[in-house]
Amino acid sequence: MKIGNFDTDKKVFIIAELSANHSGSLQTAIETIKAAKRAGADAIKLQTYTPDSITIDCDKDDFLINGTLWHGRRLYELYAEAMTPKQWHKELFDVAKSEGLICFSTPFCKDDVDFLEQFNPPAYKIASFEANDYDFIRYVASKNRPIIISTGIVTKQEILDIVGVCKDVGNDEIMLLKCTSSYPAKLSDMNLATIADMRGQFGAEIGFSDHTLGIVAPVVAVSLGARVIEKHFILDKSVKSPDDAFSLDEREFSEMVKAVRDTEALLGKVSYELDEKSIQNMRFARSLYAVSDIKKGDKFSDENVKSIRPGYGLAPKYKQELFKNISKRDIGRGERIIMSDLKE
């Protein structure tokens, strides 16, 4: 998939998620973008919404958060704190561009999408909790930009539906992100083996949106075929935000990027060809050598020929065929058996 000038077929696309980690400060947001570049991110992702994009200002129990990191808080209050003000967006897009980072965002309603269009974003992201809103996904997909969709709370059938919705409006530039919508998520809940299965199930590219602590999960995800890694990024641990508990700072994110790139290098490509060093080291393999003097006319056998190191002689796979022959020359102990000894 092409996202801006980035090709996920050639390299894993690493997204630093700003989310609420600006902590209400434009300057912190700017410095976080610069730090993400230093840490090796390919992109910075914003979240574009107001509280009214997501919920309503209501005190009823349904609108209180229970059983999560934000237990006891009202949805509207949380989103009012976490939002990235729309008046910041132009400067943040400009800073990202000046840093050489791809910048795009997660909208949460149609008005957010319409607002973002002015920045000509290279992609749109759909958060897990909006992934069950087919009408919204249809609207985003209709903008004919690559669409990246987290799948943290949708079923297999819903994922199939989502892909169908995108394709119905002519958008087949779809990246599905394996995601566990728990904050932070436990390693034991990740089921990353699903990534390899998703590649064959849904006719879309597959990535990984990570909410675990540490960097192990992204490395495993890449080894299983993920072509996008999204991870929350924070300027440093002194910044307090609703997402700080599961965000990586610059040092940690840099370590993750290095580990992902090392994983890519290790995976390489499917190849059964030997590299130059391996070819050179074939000299240490076994081959056929005379282990006692052999006179012309003697029969080759286990008594006078063995498979031993080094590997300059005839390959051991020819031993049984060789034993059907007699020697056409005198061969001294320690002399390699060669192809002409095999042929009539």
The enclosing domain of 321 has a CATH number of 3.90.1210.10
CATH number at residue 45: 3.20.20.70
pLDDT at position 159: 97
User: Among 261, 199, 254, which Cα is nearest to 225's?
Assistant: 199
pLDDT tens digit sequence for 248-278: 999 999 999 999 999 999 999 888 888 888 8
pLDDT value, residue 181 = 81
Range of the domain at 78: 2-267
Percentage of the chain surpassing pLDDT 70?
Answer: 100
At 135, the pLDDT band (50, 70, 90 cuts) reads: very high
Domain boundary, last residue among 241, 267, 293:
267
- The reply to whether 223 and 321 lie within a common domain is no
Indicate if 305 and 207 belong to the same structural domain. no
The verdict on 139 and 207 lying in the same domain is: yes
Co-location of 230 and 288 in the same domain: no
Shared domain for 46 and 130, answered yes or no, is: yes
Least Cα distance to 185 among 207, 214, 162 occurs for 214
* Exposure string for 213-247, b = 16+ CB within 10 A, e = fewer: bebebbbbbbbbbbbbbbbbbbbeeebebbbbebb
* SS3 assignment, position 33: helix
Tokens found for residue 336: 């390699």
Report the SS3 class of residue 176. strand
**Rama region for 335: left / alpha / beta (φ>0; ψ in -120 to 50; rest):** beta
Residue 331 has pLDDT above 80, yes or no: yes
| 344 — pLDDT class (breaks 50, 70, 90) | low
Domain final residue pick, 208, 243, 267: 267
Q: Is the pLDDT of residue 43 over 90?
A: yes
| Domain count for the chain | 2
What's the Cα-to-Cα distance from 268 to each of 1, 197, 198, 199, 275, rounded to whole Å? 19, 20, 21, 18, 13
Over residues 274-295, mean pLDDT: 92
Specify the pairing of strand 147-150 against strand 174-179.
Answer: parallel
Last residue of a domain, one of 228, 248, 267: 267
